[in-house]
Amino acid sequence: MSGHDQRFQVHGWNNNQDIIVKADGEHSIKAPDGSTGAIIAIHDGQIGEQAEITKCGYMGNDFIDMSNICGAGGNMIVQQVGDNGTRKGDPKFMQHLNDAWHKASQHNKDELKSCIFTRNGNVVRMGAPKDFPQLENFVRSFADGKTYIGIGSWGGSPGNGNDNNQISDESPEALLGLVQQQRETPGLHKPLSHTLAVTDQGPGIHLTNKSNHEHDFVFYDNYWNGNGTAGANFDHPLKSVHLKPNASQFVPLPTSFKGRVQHGTQLPCTWVEFQLEASNDHAAHGDISLQQGRAIDTTVGNWNGGPNSAAIDYLNRVVGQKNAYIVGGTGVPDVASKDKRLAVVMY
């Protein structure tokens, strides 16, 4: 979409080779299902805005986000083709950056002179907000919530909530599309770091509410944990997250977490049971349990009574013990994640 040829680094696809897209041209990149990569614009030999994508990942969803943590020299958006509601990024990022620069006080300009690059008074490129706290604050004044600006939840830091919320998952009904728009003025040739920062949200759960209603999702850490046994926590939740319909949020948790997330605080309900660092392989593991019901009835029955045979028979017929715990025991496969992060989709 720009009026000049544009170079992009490609990470994860295209044999990690750069591509050059002609002015007003298009370029297709093969991305197998389940693969993850990044497409990064290059300006004056320096990395800038980047789109980070997982194609047909967990539950068949595409995960996309836009990042400016390493800089910017042009405008980029990422979305599914034909669906503007999935768009991430600001199609006028550089124009907004230039406007904010012209409105800034001389004191602010002096603070930013090492990371804002101009020509003829207009901004043509900025450095990496991850390296300049004053630049991160400046960019948040016009782009907060539209793109990754800081490093997010990483390395023990909770990060900025508007950054953490940037990752979204979308249904795989359309291919992913990228748009690189025109840069307003030529760039300057100033040295900047070539280091590519990889967004790492740390341990936790990427939680999605796929229902048509707002819900509170409550996390319970077990009271105690043994070898194949645990003390379920019913009255002291660790945290609660409120999500609107079809909204997603990353929920950071300590690696010591072993417990569950559920709708609200009342039973019966489905439990998503998980731990973030198992003692044997140090990976996160999770499974689904219907033993406490699924907003219809419970399969374990009253504490003083026996199992609910009617509920057990029904769930064995429509779900099956191979897909979720119905009466406990074994035979239910779990999912594992070496990066100590799991995606949970609630319906």
Out of 147, 181, 215, pick the residue that ends a domain.
Answer: 181
The arithmetic mean of pLDDT across residues 26-43, rounded, is 88
Residue 187 included in any domain = no
pLDDT of residue 225: 82
Q: Which of 137, 166, 181 is the endpoint of a domain?
A: 181
- Per-residue confidence band for 338, with pLDDT thresholds at 50, 70 and 90: confident
Is residue 246 one of the residues assigned to a domain?
yes
Q: Measure Cα distances from 23 to 7, 97, 150, 157, 201 in Å.
A: 11, 23, 30, 40, 35
Both 90 and 211 in one domain: the answer is no
Q: Convert the pLDDT of each residue in 254-282 to its tens digit.
A: 999 999 999 888 877 888 889 999 888 88
Q: Is residue 1 part of a domain?
A: no
Same domain, 99 and 212: no
The pLDDT of residue 198? 33
97 domain-assigned: yes
Per-residue confidence (pLDDT) for residue 231, from 0 to 100:
82
Least confident of 286-290, 308-312, 338-342: 308-312
Looking at residue 82, its pLDDT comes to 66
Evaluate whether residue 319 is within a structural domain: yes
Q: How far is CA 143 from CA 98, 114, 148, 187, 309, in A?
A: 12, 20, 9, 21, 56
Q: Are residues 157 and 227 in the same domain?
A: no
Q: Identify whether residues 80 and 208 lie together within a single domain.
A: no
Q: Say whether pLDDT at 189 is over 80.
A: no
Mark which of 181, 213, 237 sits at the end of a domain: 181
- Indicate if 92 and 229 belong to the same structural domain: no
pLDDT surpassing 70 at residue 18: yes
Contact of 101 with 118, CB cutoff 8 Å: yes
Residues 143 and 213 in one domain: no
Q: What digits encode the pLDDT tens for the residues 51-94?
A: 988 877 665 677 888 899 999 999 998 887 666 777 888 889 99
Query: What is the separation, in whole angstroms, between the first and last Cα of the chain?
Result: 38
Asked, for residue 188, whether it belongs to a domain, the answer is no
Is there a single domain that holds both residue 154 and residue 230?
no
What residue numbers bound the domain in which 324 lies?
Answer: 204-346
Please indicate, yes or no, whether residues 25 and 129 belong to a single structural domain of this protein: yes
By residue count, the chain amounts to: 347
- Assess whether pLDDT exceeds 80 at residue 166: no
Number of domains comprising the chain: 2
Amino acid identity of residue 309, one-letter, is: S
Residues 241 and 172 in one domain: no
Q: What is the pTM of this model?
A: 0.51
In a domain, 193, yes or no: no
Residues 159 and 280 in one domain: no
3-state SS of the chain is: CCCCCEEEEEECCHHHCCEEECCCCCCCCCCCCCCEEEEEEEECCEEEEEEEEECCCHHHCEEEEEECCCCECCEEEEEECCEEEEEECCCCHHHHHHHHHHHCCHHHHHHHCCCEEEECCEEEEECCCCCCHHHHHHHHHHHCCCCECCCCCECCECCCHHHHCCCEEECCCCCEEEEEECCCCCCCCCCCCCCCCCCCCCCEEEEEECCCCCEEEEEEECCEECCCCEECCCCCCCEEEEECCCCEEEEECCCCCEEEEEECCCCCCCEEEEECCCCCCCCEEEEEECCCCCCCCCCCCCCCCCCCHHHHHHHHHHCCCCCCECCCCCCCCCEEECCCEEEEEEC
User: Which CATH number belongs to the domain containing residue 69 in this structure?
Assistant: 2.60.110
| Per-residue model confidence (pLDDT) at position 169 | 46
Residues above pLDDT 70, as percent of the chain = 70
Provide the pLDDT for residue 206: 87
Task: Give percent of the chain above pLDDT 90.
Answer: 31
Question: Which of the two residues, 292 and 9, has the higher pLDDT score?
Answer: 9
Statement to judge: residues 27 and 58 lie in one domain: yes
Domain assignment of residue 28, yes or no = yes
Say if residue 222 is in the same domain as residue 169.
no
